[in-house]
Amino acid sequence: MPLFPLQTVLFPGGHLPLQIFEVRYLEMIGRCQQEQAPFGVVALAEGREVRTPSGSAARLEPVGTLAHLQQFDKVQPALWRIQCQGRQRFRVLSSEQKPNGLWVADIEVLTPDPWVSVPPDLTAAQTSLQAVLQSMQEQAPEVLADWPLQPPFAWTDSGWLANRWAELLPLPLATRQQLMSLDNPLLRLELVCDLLEQHGVNG
């Protein structure tokens, strides 16, 4: 599986806009488009997104998310804009960096989150997110196309709700990675609700 290491975390159901200009990723995205295949997005535990002449070492997080191309725009021959959607999570079993700088890995695809209804004591997370979306629709509709919160909306699903808040809150990369890596969607939502309280967000 080709990997795209980033200083961000892609959650299942999340939307990720990218500008592609490095040769290694132009070739990777070209193959993915032709084969209608996903690529893996993993967060960088250490290192930089753009390859440097010094070739500084990078360290990848062990859990990532498969990204499927949804939109492909060739702005220039060496500048592409793409929109991706996160699907299944995966665990990196082994990885290596090719001579051209592209990371590839053997992966284990993880079981998708089961649908878990939002319990009554956590519904404030649902109503608050609905209010945020309504506010954006009224005040800044022009930015909605690149916003993480995109339809279809699954307001009553604990995993989906937790993932969307984890994308929107100003959290450290390590915290986002920890939340995404959790296998229990209800626990993820409970932790997100604690973070909402810390950030002064309530229903």
Is residue 124 pLDDT above 60, yes or no? yes
User: Who wins on pLDDT, 163 or 137?
Assistant: 163
Nearest CA to 70 among 15, 5, 2?
A: 15
Q: In angstroms, what CA-CA distances link 173 with 39, 44, 83, 147?
A: 20, 9, 21, 18
Does 73 map to a domain? yes
pLDDT tens digits for 26-46?
Answer: 999 999 999 999 999 999 988
Q: Are residues 63 and 144 in the same domain?
A: no
Which of 109, 144, 159 is the last residue in one of the domains? 109
- The CATH number that applies at residue 140 is 1.10.4060.10
Element housing 2 (H / E): strand 2-6
Q: Are residues 39 and 105 in the same domain?
A: yes
Does 164 map to a domain? yes
What's the average model confidence in pLDDT over 164-183?
Answer: 96
Q: Are residues 102 and 128 in the same domain?
A: no
Q: Count of domains in the chain? A: 2
Q: Are residues 96 and 129 in the same domain?
A: no
- Residue 203: pLDDT band (50, 70, 90) is low
pLDDT tens digits for 43-73?
Answer: 998 865 555 544 556 889 999 999 999 999 9
Q: Are residues 64 and 152 in the same domain?
A: no
Query: Which pLDDT belongs to residue 201?
Result: 79
Q: pTM of the predicted model, to two decimals?
A: 0.90
Contact 118, 192 (CB under 8 A): no
Q: Are residues 8 and 90 in the same domain?
A: yes
Does 125 map to a domain? yes
3-state helix, strand, coil in the chain (%, to 5): 35, 30, 35
Q: Are residues 84 and 165 in the same domain?
A: no
Q: Are residues 99 and 73 in the same domain?
A: yes
Q: Are residues 71 and 167 in the same domain?
A: no
Query: Which pLDDT belongs to residue 58?
Result: 81
Does 115 map to a domain? no
Which of 109, 139, 170 is the last residue in one of the domains? 109
Does 152 map to a domain? yes
Is residue 23 pLDDT above 70, yes or no? yes
What's the average model confidence in pLDDT over 80-95?
Answer: 96
DSSP letters spanning 135-147: HHHHH-GGGGGGS
pLDDT tens digits for 105-121?
Answer: 999 999 999 999 999 99
Q: Are residues 102 and 131 in the same domain?
A: no
Q: Are residues 104 and 124 in the same domain?
A: no
Which of 54, 78, 109 is the last residue in one of the domains? 109
Domain that holds residue 149: 120-198
Q: Are residues 189 and 144 in the same domain?
A: yes
Which amino acid does the sequence have at 121? D
What's the average model confidence in pLDDT over 86-115?
Answer: 96
Does 14 map to a domain? yes
**Burial readout 55-83 (b: 16 or more C-beta within 10 A, e: otherwise):** eeebebbebbbbbebeeeeeeeeeebebb
